[in-house]
Amino acid sequence: MEYKDYYKILGVARDASSDEIKKVYRRLARKYHPDVSKEPEAETRFKEIGEAYEVLKDTEKRAAYDQLGSNWRAGQEFKPPPDWESKFHFDGNLNEAVDLSDLFESLFGGVQNGRRGQRTRERVHTGPNPFAGRAAEDGFRRRGPERGEDQHVKLDISLEDSFRGATRKINLQIPELGPDGLIRTRNKTLNVKVPAGTIEGQQIRLSGQGGVGRSGNAGDLYLDVAFSSHRWFQVEGRDVLLELPITPWEAALGHTVTVPTLGGKVDVKIPPGSQSGSKLRLKGRGLPAGSGQPAGDQYVVLKLVTPAATTESAREFYQRMAQELPMDPRAELGS
């Protein structure tokens, strides 16, 4: 009989706690499940992981296994104790009854009496694939409808979508449990309505559009909203910022310029004597808000752009400005 190092298979220390072993098993089972994994030899690894967990999760079996000591090496032939077979019954196909309730919970979610987070155990008799079995007649069954897993998907929208509202088509791959007990994914296309005033970080909840559990009850789909980058605007909450380049004479003398907003172009008056970095507020020109709340504002941030002195006359002009308009902008720095 070939010795298998179950601690090495799961990648845990020999003194690992039961909670740590369970956590590692659930992560590896999701990674190597043959119906969803693209890892090489996923099915073989999945069986090894299940076999190791079946022993190490059970206090009595783990103690018996640990009696083998640390002198045995993986792959080495050994003669097991007389009661070894009665404790383990492994034939390489995981025909032992395995408790998969925790794995089902992590993949699909679960409810008891309509409330998530309260779980009951179910003993599942498995064939070569642990998910392809039937409930053991002497095991525990779930006492409420099983709800599918909630899904989270990032939804990129433009600022124009947020300002006006929009409908977007999204294509998803939703995991679900088939009638044969196997996990599979199915393609789903949804037309999603983006309400006007939707902001970055907001979630759009689509009830019953998530993963489907074994009883057919689906979880929810949450769309996590993110803004696509915009060539002109930046956003802070519901406020919109626009950096507006202006010339020195527009800043010094004042001027009326046309600027873009999400609602269309508007004329903005630059006050005489404006400085680079000054902000002009356009009230209510930001992102809208619902329930009678005020919309955000648009702030126009002035950026002074100085013409280059590329000709002799331009250089003479700047020299004349220096003589006629003397100033020390660094006076407060003590320079």
3-state secondary structure the chain: CECCCHHHHHCCCCCCCHHHHHHHHHHHHHHHCCCCCCCCCHHHHHHHHHHHHHHHCCHHHHHHHHCCCCCCCCCCECCCCCCHHHHHCCCCCCCCCEECHHHHHHHHCCEECCEECCCCCCEEECCCCHHHCEECCCCCCCCCCCECCCEEEEEEECHHHHHHCEEEEEEEEEEEECCCCCEEEEEEEEEEEECCCCCCCCEEEECCCCCECCCCEECCEEEEEEECCCCCEEEECCEEEEEEEECHHHHHHCEEEEEEECCEEEEEEECCCCCCCCEEEECCCCCCCCCCCCCCCEEEEEEECCCCCCCHHHHHHHHHHHHHCCCCCCHHHCC
161 versus 61: the higher-pLDDT residue is: 161
Are 218 and 245 contained in the same domain? Answer: no
The proportion of the chain whose per-residue pLDDT surpasses 90, expressed as a percent, equals 30
Whether residue 49 is contained in a domain is answered as yes
Instruction: Summarize pLDDT for 254-267 with one digit per residue, the tens.
Output: 999 999 999 999 99
CATH code of the domain containing 49: 1.10.287.110
pLDDT category of residue 232 using cuts at 50, 70 and 90: very high
* The model's pTM: 0.52
Judged by average pLDDT, the poorest of 54-63, 82-91, 288-297 is 82-91
38 and 123 co-located in one domain: yes
Domain-embedded: residue 313? yes
Q: Quick one: pLDDT at residue 44?
A: 87
In this structure, are 11 and 124 located in the same domain?
yes
Are 130 and 176 members of one domain? no
What is the model's pLDDT at position 108?
41
More confident residue, 94 or 233: 233
Same domain, 268 and 315: yes
**At which of 206, 227, 248 does a domain end?**
227
In a domain, 75, yes or no: yes
In a domain, 141, yes or no: no
**Is residue 274 situated within a structural domain?**
yes
* Domain encompassing residue 320: 233-324
Q: How far apart are CA 131 and CA 183, in angstroms?
A: 8
| Identity of the amino acid at 173 | Q
Domain boundary among 107, 135, 163: 135
The share of the chain scoring above pLDDT 70, in percent, equals: 70
Query: How many domains would you assign to the chain?
Result: 3
Q: Which residue has the tokens 């599918």?
A: 148
> What is the structure's pLDDT at 176?
67
Query: Are residue 112 and residue 45 in the same domain, yes or no?
Result: yes
Q: What average pLDDT is seen over the chain?
A: 76
Lowest mean pLDDT among 34-48, 134-148, 189-203: 134-148
Q: What is the pLDDT of residue 89?
A: 44
> Quick check: 114 pLDDT over 70?
no
pLDDT value of position 120: 36
* Stretch among 14-18, 34-38, 297-301 having the lowest mean pLDDT: 34-38
Which SS3 state, helix, strand or coil, does residue 166 take?
strand
Joined together, the tokens standing for residue 259 give: 């600027």
**Both structure tokens of 183:** 């996990």
Whether residue 118 sits in one domain with residue 66: yes
User: Do 68 and 161 sit in the same domain of this protein?
Assistant: no
- The domain boundary, picked from 209, 227, 245, lies at 227
pLDDT score of 181: 65
Low-confidence winner among 178-187, 196-205, 240-249 (lowest mean pLDDT): 178-187
Q: Are residues 222 and 121 in the same domain?
A: no
Identify the pLDDT of residue 209. Answer: 81
DSSP string of 78-128?
----TTHHHHH---SS--S-EE-HHHHHHHH--EETTEET-----EEE-SS
Q: Please indicate, yes or no, whether residues 70 and 32 belong to a single structural domain of this protein.
A: yes
For the ranges 109-113, 196-200, 300-304, the one whose mean pLDDT is highest:
300-304
Q: Would you state the pLDDT for residue 178?
A: 67
66 and 124 both lie in a single domain = yes
CATH of the domain at 280: 2.60.260.20
Residue 46 lies in a domain: yes
Is 144 among the domain residues? no
Top-ranked range on mean pLDDT: pick from 67-76, 121-130, 152-161: 152-161
The answer to whether position 260 is within a domain reads yes
Residues with Cβ within 8 Å of 41's Cβ and at least 6 positions away in sequence, in order, are none
Q: In this model, does residue 95 exceed pLDDT 60? A: no
Same domain, 20 and 124: yes
Q: In sequence order, what are the beta bridge partners of 241?
A: 234, 299
